Amino acid sequence: MATMRILDPTAKRQAESRTLVPFAAENHRIGILHNHSPHFNRLAEALPQALKTQMQAKTVETHTKARYSSGAPQAMLATLSADYDFAITGLAA
């Protein structure tokens, strides 16, 4: 009889605890990469305003990919990297 090996990707040991670096979004420029998924639209509409009002972000801009199933163009990634202090991506709702 054939056998199947099942792999479990969960960690068996705890990683070393580290102190987080203090972070505040105030006066930061934040880029959002919208993956063009229709399920993300509501969050994509609300997130910029929330970041501006609740976290005092200086700038929040959303950049939208052409299709959710493809990667972002290199020019868009270069813009997110050059023009913002950090980018938010990989979001789904």
Q: Where are the domains positioned within the chain? A: 29-88
Predicted local confidence at residue 32, as pLDDT = 93
Would the pLDDT of 93 be above 70? no
Please say whether the beta carbons of 68 and 52 come within 8 A: no
The per-residue pLDDT for range 3-61, each reduced to its tens digit, is 777 777 776 776 677 777 677 777 889 999 998 887 788 888 889 999 988 888 889 99
DSSP string of 48-93, one letter each residue: HHHHHHHS--SEEEEEE-S-TTSPPPHHHHHHHHHH-SEEE-----
- Rounded to whole angstroms, the Cα distance separating 62 from 45 reads 9
Q: How far is CA 31 from CA 53, 62, 91, in A?
A: 16, 6, 13
Note if the pTM is more than 0.85: no
